[in-house]
Amino acid sequence: MSTYNKILIMMKRNLSKLLLLLVLLIAASGYSQQDPQYTQYMYNPLVINPAYAGNRGVTSIVLLHRSQWVGLDGAPRTQNLSVHSPIGLGKVGMGFSLVNDVLGPARETYFNVDFSYTLETGAEGKFSFGLKGSLDLLDVDFSRTNPFNTNDPFLINIDNKLSPNVGVGVFYHDSKFYAGLSAPQLLQTDHFDRSGSQGAETFVAEENIHYYGLAGYVFDLNRNVKFKPSTLVKMVAGAPLAVDVNANFMFYDKLTLGASYRWSAALSGLVGFQVNDGLLIGFAYDRESTDLGNATYNNGTYELFLRFELFKEYNRMLTPRFF
């Protein structure tokens, strides 16, 4: 039987779960994202969904660097450090993440603490609820942009403004399938300058609520090859829907090769290598599918990912889990 026929048979057997992938693709319209963007989100869902905390069953440490639109002055750059682990008998998970996001004159730093509680829903299924508490530190300094008119009243700096926030999420997984819904920042934050002309309140920046949906399924094509389609939907009021569709293949539980399409935005190539039980290295390259991708000053987007996992003898994974 051909590999193509095997994929069709497995899809038919798991039609209900695959339908959820499609629901997430069309669940909303009129939305997009302001939060930091990740191509390799499937390796670190904690940054967008607190219910993922502890769900790998071991202590997991993630480092990620993303340089977007390399060659373009003021383009986004993001660094992320995440740590999460199950606590006690494994029903409770705790996590911490630190995100540094730079875009032009703005630097935003997120300090996040995550909590999850997991219920077993069958022999393999687990359903988790999550809460996120965060502090957002925003600094905007327009002197970094070398402005033409330094007295422009609309160029208003923000000096390390601290804003608290809370988020929620749910996450389900079994040995092959996962899906989650989350809103990591439920409180909308508006930044204003109250010393504008004639004492008027001047708008500077606004942090809208973001909604995320993600899902994926792992197919065992044979003993040595796994195939995982997945999707991420990002929604925020006032901008178009953002959808990532991904296809990844894992060979011999070591090498992962994949491709991703960000709807009307970018094409990506992904590669990952499981160095040993505790270390995964990943790299992704994005190329814009818009006019920006054709610009001579845009050399694409690069993302480097490292995941360290700390095992105890009794919880060591027999094979690497694909999510």
Which amino acid makes up residue 26? I
- Phi-psi group of 117: left, alpha or beta (phi > 0 → left; psi -120 to 50 → alpha; rest → beta): beta
Condensed to tens digits (0 to 9), the pLDDT of residues 119-157 reads 998 888 999 999 999 999 988 877 766 665 666 656 667
The percentage of the chain sitting over the pLDDT mark of 70, rounded to a whole number, equals 75
Tell me, what's the pLDDT at 202? 53
Is residue 262 assigned to a domain? yes
Condensed to tens digits (0 to 9), the pLDDT of residues 77-128 reads 999 999 999 998 889 999 999 999 998 888 899 999 999 999 998 888 999 9
What's the CATH number where 222 sits?
A: 2.40.160.40
Condensed to tens digits (0 to 9), the pLDDT of residues 33-50 reads 457 788 998 888 999 999
Tell me, what's the pLDDT at 217? 95
Is residue 317 assigned to a domain? no
Lowest mean pLDDT among 160-174, 198-212, 253-267, 291-305: 198-212
Is residue 20 assigned to a domain? no
Is residue 58 assigned to a domain? yes
Question: Average per-residue pLDDT in the chain?
Answer: 81
| Residue 62 scores a pLDDT above 50 | yes
Is residue 35 assigned to a domain? no
| Residue 2 scores a pLDDT above 80 | no
Is residue 217 assigned to a domain? yes
Is residue 227 assigned to a domain? yes
Owning domain of residue 104: 48-192+202-310
How many domains does the chain contain in total? 1
